[in-house]
Amino acid sequence: MALVACSQFTPVLGAVRENVDRSLELIREAAGRGAQVVVLPELASSGYAFADTAEAAAASEPATGESVTRWHNAAAELGIVIVAGFAETNPDGAPYNSAALVMPGAAPVIYRKAHLWDRERLIFTPGDDLPPVVDTFVGRIGVMVCYDLEFPEWVRIAALAGAELICAPVNWPTVQRPTGERPGEVVRVQAEASMNRVAIAACDRGGNERGVEWSGASVIVDADGWPLALTERAGDRRRPAPQPTTAADGSTLPDRIDPATTIFAEIDLAASRTKRIAAYSDVIADRRTDLYERYSR
């Protein structure tokens, strides 16, 4: 069994050092409660709602920079695995929307988000490599970022590479949904986990940043796709109320910082190695690749 935590908080746009300070407080709290793996949000060091590439670049750092180094040092000190999102400097152009996996005794593993959501493609450079699957003292951990989870091929690639747990820093904006339904992103994480029989920990952010209302819907699911832990908003089946972005006088409201929250779940990672779902059914062995290869586009 592995104790996994998602430490959800509200990064302040552009306040890199302060955001990392806050993340380290949460990491230490989670480790103090026994967490062996701690996942932070997408772009945890920088915030998200950049106006343009120049603003994002100003909040970016190389993978050898202060943010990843401080997370790496904390992982070594606490004896844990940390997966955190950051804006990564790109000497050849727009920065990357990246995630770092850091742990004791090993160099940081950096993944660059391959599937850019909406305006992200105006701000960032997409990654051009597959999601890494890393051997850790806890188990085999795959890494991807937010919108990557929406692509069944991407989660399947990590599962085929032997991932027992996928850690995904995410920033999920609030969207309208029918009353009685959980946020769609939570439902899709459950589906991806069950289709591949792999546990997933998705750490969201909270707050309102430049008019974007964030879901605050962190969730940890097991290999059957059932939630083991989720924030109150991840399990909230009420229709989300529209949030005002302007004051009565027409001025823009300031960004809102929500209280941080950390969810914990004990996960049996060995279950992710068992792909059989019935006496004669196996979600990996039963694939008809002989047919699928007829359509590759």
The 10s digit of each residue's pLDDT in 190-212 is: 999 999 999 999 999 999 999 99
- In this predicted structure, what is the pLDDT of residue 253? 78
pTM to 2 decimal places? 0.95
Under a CB-based contact definition with an 8 Å cutoff, are residues 113 and 96 in contact?
yes
Euclidean distance between CA atoms 204 and 182, whole angstroms:
14
In this structure, are residues 41 and 258 in contact, taking their beta carbons and an 8 Å threshold? no
Q: What is the pLDDT of residue 242?
A: 65
**pLDDT confidence bin for 240, thresholds 50/70/90:** confident
pLDDT, residue 238, reads: 75
Please compute the mean of the pLDDT values over residues 231-240 and round it to a whole number: 82
User: Phi first, then psi: what are they for 116, rounded to 5°?
Assistant: -90, 130
Q: What pLDDT is recorded for position 224?
A: 97
Secondary structure class of 81 (helix, strand, coil):
strand
The CA distance from 22 to 109, in Å, is 22
pLDDT attached to residue 104: 98
pLDDT exceeds cutoff 70 at 250: no
Beta strands in the chain (DSSP E): 2-8, 37-39, 81-88, 96-102, 109-112, 133-135, 140-143, 165-169, 199-203, 208-209, 212-213, 219-221, 227-230, 261-267, 276-278, 281-282
CA distance 43 to 64: 16
User: Quick check: 241 pLDDT over 80?
Assistant: no
Inform me whether the pLDDT recorded for 218 exceeds 80. yes
Q: Which residue has the tokens 């779940």?
A: 265
Task: Give the span between the Cα atoms of 150 and 262, in whole angstroms.
Answer: 24
Find where tokens 């909230």 sit: 236
Other C-beta atoms closer than 10 Å to the C-beta of 132 total 17
pLDDT at residue 79, as a whole number: 98
The residue-averaged pLDDT of 87-112 equals: 98
Of the candidate ranges 80-84, 153-157, 254-258, the one whose mean pLDDT is the lowest = 254-258
Q: CA torsion, points 178, 182, 187, 193, in degrees to nearest 10?
A: -170
Q: What is the mean pLDDT of residues 179-192?
A: 94
Per-residue pLDDT for 252 more than 90? no
Using CA atoms, how far apart are residues 189 and 226, in angstroms rounded to an integer?
Answer: 10
CA separation (Å) from 35 to 72, 143, 165, 188, 219?
16, 18, 14, 25, 15
Is 192 exposed, middle or buried (CB count within 10 Å of its CB: 0-12, 13-18, 19+)? buried
Nearest alpha carbon to residue 199 among 4, 26, 35, 30: 4
Give percent of the chain above pLDDT 70: 96
pLDDT at residue number 251: 67
Name the pLDDT band for 236 (thresholds 50, 70, 90): confident
Mean pLDDT of the chain: 95
Residue pLDDT, tens place only, 19-52: 999 999 999 999 999 999 999 999 999 999 999 9
Q: How high is the pLDDT of residue 180?
A: 87
- What confidence score (pLDDT) does residue 244 get? 66
Give mean pLDDT, residues 88-113.
98
- Three-class HEC string of 200-263: EEEECCCCEECCEEECCCCEEECCCCCEEEECCCCCCCCCCCCCCCECCCCCECCCECCCCEEE
How far is it, in rounded angstroms, from Cα 2 to Cα 35? Answer: 8
